[in-house]
């Protein structure tokens, strides 16, 4: 069975003190729950400290991005190995803000997925269509292209370390959540693609998170959808009182 997975993507928010306060609040309440997996994705400069603050807690820590290269003359970049070195266990790859604000394409994202897995990190591979793509009827085509490209060369055993996040670009940070039916359709389609790329058992075991304006008041409805196995939460992950109810709805 797929254990629900709730991840908080802090993006470029919080400072050292508020980040530590947030994880203290989460740590006290998440405790030893085993029916839901929780991870936070702090800005990379705070990763080390946040990973230490969460030591001994089941809450996992991840990076928001990594370089596709392992080391060398890549000014401003952070490698997957470096993330792992300071305590990250996961990394987000292909977030829509990376794709659309920083021009990351499918090939770069594929290389990042490989770099992350090779460094021992688990991966959340994000896919999702823009509003123009949805309105043109291209949603399936877009997410299929992104999924296939991101997973090219990834073996079935490695898929145990990959989570897929469906994040419609038009729902991210806009307050316009996909309806349960819209999310359900795309999640079922993605699971079908995973079955074709791998096998029925791999497809059945891979978690597919929904992301895009998830809040306490829509989490339960989204999480009740068969193929929705968790949430990737941005804005509502920045305060314990907003994030904890989302975790609680999903167990
Ligand atoms: P949001 O962001 O919850 O603020 O819409 C989600 C995401 O970008 O992962």
92 CA: nearest ligand 1 atom: 9
CATH number for the domain formed by residue range(s) 5-250: 3.20.20.70
237 CA: nearest ligand 1 atom: 3
Q: What is the pLDDT of residues 169-215, one digit of tens each?
A: 999 999 899 999 999 999 999 999 999 999 999 999 999 999 999 99
**Percent of the chain surpassing pLDDT 90:** 94
User: Could you give the 3-state DSSP secondary structure of residue 37?
Assistant: strand
The reported pLDDT for the residue numbered 251 is 55
The Å distance, Cα 146 to ligand 1 centre, comes to: 18
56 φψ region: left (φ > 0), alpha (ψ -120 to 50), beta (else): left
Note if the pTM is more than 0.85: yes
Residue of 213, 219, 245 to test ligand 1 pocket, by largest number of atoms within 8 Å of CB: 213
227/187 Cα distance (integer angstroms): 6
- For the four alpha carbons of 101, 182, 91 and 230, in that order, the dihedral sign comes to positive
Contact 7, 41 (CB under 8 A): yes
The Å distance, Cα 29 to ligand 1 centre, comes to: 22
The Å distance, Cα 22 to ligand 1 centre, comes to: 17
189/186 Cα distance (integer angstroms): 5
Q: Hey, where are the domains in the chain? A: 5-250
Contact 8, 39 (CB under 8 A): yes
Q: Taking residues 218-235, what's their average pLDDT?
A: 96
DSSP string for 69-104: SSSSS-TT---HHHHHHTT--EEEES-HHHHHHS--
Q: Taking residues 129-134, what's their average pLDDT?
A: 96
* Pocket flag, ligand 1, residue 172 (CB < 6 Å): yes
Extract the tokens encoding 216.
């306490």
Active site residues: 95, 167
42/63 Cα distance (integer angstroms): 7
* Pocket flag, ligand 1, residue 7 (CB < 6 Å): no
> DSSP letter at 230?
E
pLDDT band at residue 108 under the 50/70/90 scheme: very high
168/95 Cα distance (integer angstroms): 10
User: Is residue 250 over pLDDT 90?
Assistant: no
The reported pLDDT for the residue numbered 249 is 77
24/152 Cα distance (integer angstroms): 38
Tell me what the pLDDT averaged over the chain comes to.
Answer: 96
Q: Whose CA is nearest to atom 2 of ligand 1?
A: 234
* Pocket flag, ligand 1, residue 235 (CB < 6 Å): yes
214 CA: nearest ligand 1 atom: 3
Q: Residue 202 burial by CB count (10 A; 0-12/13-18/19+): exposed, middle or buried?
A: middle
Query: What per-residue string of b and e applies to 163-189 under the rule 16 or more CB within 10 Å gives b?
Result: bbbbbbbbbbeeeebbebebbbbbbeb
* Angstrom distances, CA of residue 111 to CA of 9, 95, 214: 21, 14, 29
The reported pLDDT for the residue numbered 147 is 98
The Å distance, Cα 167 to ligand 1 centre, comes to: 8
173 CA: nearest ligand 1 atom: 5
């Amino acid at each position: 069975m797929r254990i629900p997975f709730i991840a908080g993507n802090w993006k470029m928010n919080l400072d050292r003190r508020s980040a530590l306060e947030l994880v203290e609040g989460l740590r006290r309440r998440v405790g030893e729950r085993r029916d839901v997996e929780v991870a936070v994705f702090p800005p990379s400069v705070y990763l080390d400290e946040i990973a230490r603050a969460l030591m001994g807690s089941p809450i996992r820590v991840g990076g928001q991005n990594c370089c596709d290269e392992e080391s060398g003359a890549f000014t401003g970049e952070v490698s997957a190995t470096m993330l792992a070195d300071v305590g990250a266990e996961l990394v987000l790859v292909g977030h829509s803000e990376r794709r659309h604000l920083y021009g990351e394409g499918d090939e770069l994202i594929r290389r990042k997925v490989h770099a992350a897995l090779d460094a021992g990190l688990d991966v959340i591979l994000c896919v999702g269509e823009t509003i123009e793509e949805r309105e043109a009827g291209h949603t399936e085509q877009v997410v299929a292209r992104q999924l296939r490209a991101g997973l090219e060369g990834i073996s079935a055993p490695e898929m145990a370390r990959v989570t897929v996040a469906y994040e419609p670009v038009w729902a991210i940070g806009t307050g316009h959540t996909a309806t349960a039916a819209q999310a359900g359709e795309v999640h079922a389609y993605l699971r079908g693609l995973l079955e074709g790329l791998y096998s029925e058992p791999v497809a059945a075991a891979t978690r597919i998170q929904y992301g895009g304006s998830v809040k306490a008041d829509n989490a339960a409805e989204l999480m009740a959808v068969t193929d929705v196995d968790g949430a990737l939460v941005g804005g509502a992950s920045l305060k314990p009182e907003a994030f904890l109810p989302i975790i609680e709805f999903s167990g």
